[in-house]
Structure 1
Amino acid sequence: MPSLPSNPHTTLCSLHLGALAMSDQSALDVLASHGVTCLLSSHGQVPLSSLENRSVCILFSANWCRPCRTFVPQLARLYETVNAAGEHPLEILFVSSDHDEKAFDEHFRCMPWLAVPFDASLHGRLNKHYRVHRIPSLVPLTSEEIPGHDELIGMIEDYGAEAFPFTKKRLEELKLLDASRREGGNLERLLAGEGRDCLLLSDGGAGRLPVPHLVGKTVGLYFGASWSPPCSDFTQQLKEAYAELKAAARDQCFEVIFVSTDGNKEEFEAGTSSMPWPFIPYEDKSRKDLCRIFGIRRIPALIIVGRDGRTASREGREMVSEYGAMGFPFTAERRREIEEALREEGEKLGRREVKDARHEHALKPGMAKAYVCDSCKREGRFWALSCEDCNYDLHPTCLN
């Protein structure tokens, strides 16, 4: 990550949170030792004593820094949520890295917390005291062990207010909670959101599917986005497999839940409007939670949750793409069964060329991802009898 620039207007800083354990001095003592006599709020000056009995973090930020302007609203939501709970009051002190008071005022205007009065010399001394070399930087003042920089960034981005008080102990607690939702066997706890026990259906938003109705089914959590061409391709493959399972009455034991990663509601609605399966509402934080719980880094992804409510496979996308509905329930065990069945079928066919009364050339056994049988005109997959000289394919069972 880049250091604080001498010419900030020409250097783009990366998001960074510095963690510093401060067991020897309180924030009040440090500020007083640097000549700070009061703090600023949106209503005017407040005494340093307003920091007493509060968890304190110092935010080093600047109005010229784009990552700072992106991070501040996220931190503001966390700040307001933590303080609304009232159990452990949090205070944040803004220390500006701007070069003039006008920029300081503009940046501070969007902050709900306190600020150290603008003084470039003072801010430089505080940067040095807290060893801040890049912005934005959030320094929690605590004697407890703090996660490393990258972990702390991810912790706040992933968990929001739940990340407070930003300690390693809290991070481990959150990871255990995620694991219990992922592997705990409780589908309702995994899929229901705050104040929501239903999923939406693509019928104008009026339809609802109660989450308890999914208990005992195999569930495919489909993570995707409307803007992604690979997702568009996979959606079509999944629709075909879904329709085939539904036609065979297998829908009584299988359901797909769409978890959109779209960034705005217009994209979200475009993506869900034609989907035949239920989906998590756009405003629901469960969309982000599920991405974190299952470690989704690329889309499309299809996570298979078994009938026991536990993760059965992370390779649902590959299974659907390769085997379609035949891959159900899309687990590693089912893959082994299919591969063994295909091997046995291949052994029965052998390697010899065969003749069909309706075609002049010899036909050779081989594997094909998809083809149309020239006899029955139906689609075929895997083993086929094909002519190497022309585009002629048969299902092995259609040989005459």
Structure 2
Amino acid sequence: MSKPDYQATNLPLWDFLTILASEGVDFLLSGEEDKVPSSSLDYEKTTICLFFSANWCRPCQSFTPKLVQLYNMLRTMGKELEIVFISLDHDEDGFNAHFETMPWLTVPFDVNLHKKLRERFHVVRIPFLVPLNLDGQSVEEDLIGLIEDFGEDAFPFTNKRREELKAIDDSKRQGGKIDQLLARPGRDYVVASDGGKVLVSKLIGKTVGLYFGAHWCPPCRAFTAQLVEAYNQLLSSRGDCFEVVLVSSDRDQKEFDVNISGMPWLALPFEDRTRQDLCRIFNIKAIPALVLIGPDGKPISTNGKNIITLYGAKAFPFTQSSIEEIEESLRKEGDSLPRQIQDIKHQHVLKLDMAKAYVCNYCERLGKFWAFSCDACDYDLHPTCVEEAS
């Protein structure tokens, strides 16, 4: 995820408390409306973050439940984390409506105080989550992006932790172990369209396509048909050497179930965070996308969609050398064909052309690569369907 277009300045706890004191505020509020002395924040043991948000802000409404889930999970795990809500709502009703969804602390509603805190922390966009730098440790500034990318693994939100997580991603991407990519603690399987479970270990030694797609996406549905054709051709001609695993971007479980029901391959469980992890690891910005992993567990190509669209099953095992062999074969085929012909079935001269896909106007079957086409009208012929005029 790219970083939002703001810059944060991490400040020590005492600076935050000084601002509160300057406005006569010496306590925070909890969800039970209890007053908590601001001086009781345990900066020696606890990671403390300020959360700037507002009830009127749609991105805030979307991110806040994720932050609540993260907060509760980390606290359950025994992690020392505290969050202090700084409202940018226009009135106290908005503040109350927003804060009632939060399990942490808040600064009492005061427009002037909140404005001062917003300016002090250079907040120009919300939601905004900034850690208070307590001990001189380098602190990660873009907590929104870090949390959305890594969830609870991002704690304690330091730059050091971000670098550790990037190193883990690099290791998974290049490490040559398909189980590290697809499995996680507590789940060593992927699912089939009938609900069955297949151990990830069964994929070791196969060429695997990680298919990033969604049922709501029309281009995905179009590419799925092409991928099904290639998958079935390889299954019948080469046996069980190629497998596809859907990495779904569907909006809910029901949509996911409909999506996988029309696919002959496997999928990551919809509820599993590994789906988001793989999008990050392989930098997936748009769907459909197909990442091809070789039998050695290492990436062959992140542009598998283009390979399948152009060459289908013919490109297997999808290596650079196999693609070069196909292209060389196509060049030789083109060299053996005339540059133009006059066919008895059409009034215009037909010229040799290369096309990704077309329908032959004579046999009405799909064609790829070489075709004889008319510049004057929409007419195409397979080279095998040509009947040259004498």
Q: By the TM > 0.5 criterion, same fold?
A: yes
Q: Note closer, same or farther for the CA distance 1:362–1:130 as it changes in structure 2 (3 Å cut).
A: closer
8 Å CA contact 1:27–1:56 kept in 2: the answer is no
Deviation per CA, 1:26-75: give whole Å up to 9, x if none: 65555345432222112322233441131111112222222222221111
Hey, what's the Cα distance between the residues in 1 that align with 2:352 and 2:228? 30
**Residue of structure 2 in register with 1:141 after alignment:** 132
Matches within 5 A, 1:78-157: 78-87=70-79, 89-142=80-133, 143-147=136-140, 149=142, 152-157=143-148
Aligned partner of 2:368: which letter?
R
Secondary structure of the residue aligned to 2:97 is helix
Hey, what's the Cα distance between the residues in 1 that align with 2:374 and 2:63? 62
8 Å CA contact 2:8–2:123 kept in 1: the answer is no
Q: Which runs of 5+ in 1 are unaligned?
A: 1-14
Secondary structure of the residue aligned to 1:256 is strand
8 Å CA contact 1:315–1:330 kept in 2: the answer is no
**Residue of structure 1 in register with 2:53 after alignment:** 61
Secondary structure of the residue aligned to 1:58 is strand
Q: Note closer, same or farther for the CA distance 1:391–1:177 as it changes in structure 2 (3 Å cut).
A: closer
Q: Note closer, same or farther for the CA distance 1:367–1:116 as it changes in structure 2 (3 Å cut).
A: closer
Aligned partner of 1:200: which letter?
V
Please state how far the C-alpha of 1:331 moved relative to its aligned partner: 3.0
1:381 aligns with 2:373: no
8 Å CA contact 1:257–1:278 kept in 2: the answer is yes
Q: Note closer, same or farther for the CA distance 1:36–1:335 as it changes in structure 2 (3 Å cut).
A: same
1:332 aligns with 2:320: yes
Aligned partner of 1:381: which letter?
K
Deviation per CA, 1:85-132: give whole Å up to 9, x if none: 214x01111122234333222211100111112233333333343333
Secondary structure of the residue aligned to 2:185 is coil
8 Å CA contact 1:19–1:140 kept in 2: the answer is no
Please state how far the C-alpha of 1:273 moved relative to its aligned partner: 1.2
CA RMSD of aligned residues (A): 3.1
8 Å CA contact 1:147–1:167 kept in 2: the answer is yes
1:47 aligns with 2:37: yes
Q: Note closer, same or farther for the CA distance 1:98–1:338 as it changes in structure 2 (3 Å cut).
A: same
8 Å CA contact 1:193–1:284 kept in 2: the answer is no
**Residue of structure 2 in register with 1:240 after alignment:** 229
8 Å CA contact 2:362–2:385 kept in 1: the answer is no
Aligned-pair identity (%) = 49
1:309 aligns with 2:297: yes
Hey, what's the Cα distance between the residues in 1 that align with 2:360 and 2:37? 80
**Residue of structure 2 in register with 1:36 after alignment:** 25
Please state how far the C-alpha of 1:194 moved relative to its aligned partner: 3.4
Q: Which of 267, 276, 280 is the aligned partner of 1:288? A: 276
**Residue of structure 2 in register with 1:12 after alignment:** none
Q: Which of 149, 163, 176 is the aligned partner of 1:158? A: 149
Worse-matched range after superposition: 46-55 or 308-317? 46-55
Please state how far the C-alpha of 1:21 moved relative to its aligned partner: 2.3
Q: Note closer, same or farther for the CA distance 1:181–1:391 as it changes in structure 2 (3 Å cut).
A: closer
Hey, what's the Cα distance between the residues in 2 that align with 1:127 and 1:359? 73
Aligned partner of 2:38: which letter?
L
Matches within 5 A, 1:187-336: 187-203=178-194, 205=195, 207-248=196-237, 250-336=238-324
Hey, what's the Cα distance between the residues in 1 that align with 2:278 and 2:213? 12
Aligned partner of 2:190: which letter?
L
8 Å CA contact 2:10–2:141 kept in 1: the answer is no
Q: Note closer, same or farther for the CA distance 1:36–1:252 as it changes in structure 2 (3 Å cut).
A: same
Aligned partner of 2:60: which letter?
C
Hey, what's the Cα distance between the residues in 2 that align with 1:257 and 1:247? 19
Secondary structure of the residue aligned to 2:132 is strand
Hey, what's the Cα distance between the residues in 1 that align with 2:116 and 2:348? 87
Please state how far the C-alpha of 1:387 moved relative to its aligned partner: 8.9
**Superposition TM-score, scaled by structure 2 size:** 0.85
Hey, what's the Cα distance between the residues in 1 that align with 2:241 and 2:303? 19
8 Å CA contact 1:95–1:115 kept in 2: the answer is yes
Q: Which runs of 5+ in 2 are unaligned?
A: none
Secondary structure of the residue aligned to 2:336 is helix
Aligned partner of 2:153: which letter?
E
Hey, what's the Cα distance between the residues in 1 that align with 2:270 and 2:63? 22
Secondary structure of the residue aligned to 2:82 is strand
8 Å CA contact 1:373–1:379 kept in 2: the answer is no
Aligned partner of 1:382: which letter?
F
Q: Note closer, same or farther for the CA distance 1:161–1:33 as it changes in structure 2 (3 Å cut).
A: farther
**Residue of structure 1 in register with 2:163 after alignment:** 172
**Superposition TM-score, scaled by structure 1 size:** 0.83
Hey, what's the Cα distance between the residues in 1 that align with 2:347 and 2:305? 40
Secondary structure of the residue aligned to 1:193 is coil
Q: Which of 58, 67, 76 is the aligned partner of 1:75? A: 67
Hey, what's the Cα distance between the residues in 2 that align with 1:273 and 1:161? 32
What number of residue pairs does the alignment pair up? 377
8 Å CA contact 1:302–1:317 kept in 2: the answer is yes
Hey, what's the Cα distance between the residues in 2 that align with 1:92 and 1:148? 15
Q: Note closer, same or farther for the CA distance 1:186–1:392 as it changes in structure 2 (3 Å cut).
A: closer
Aligned partner of 2:333: which letter?
E
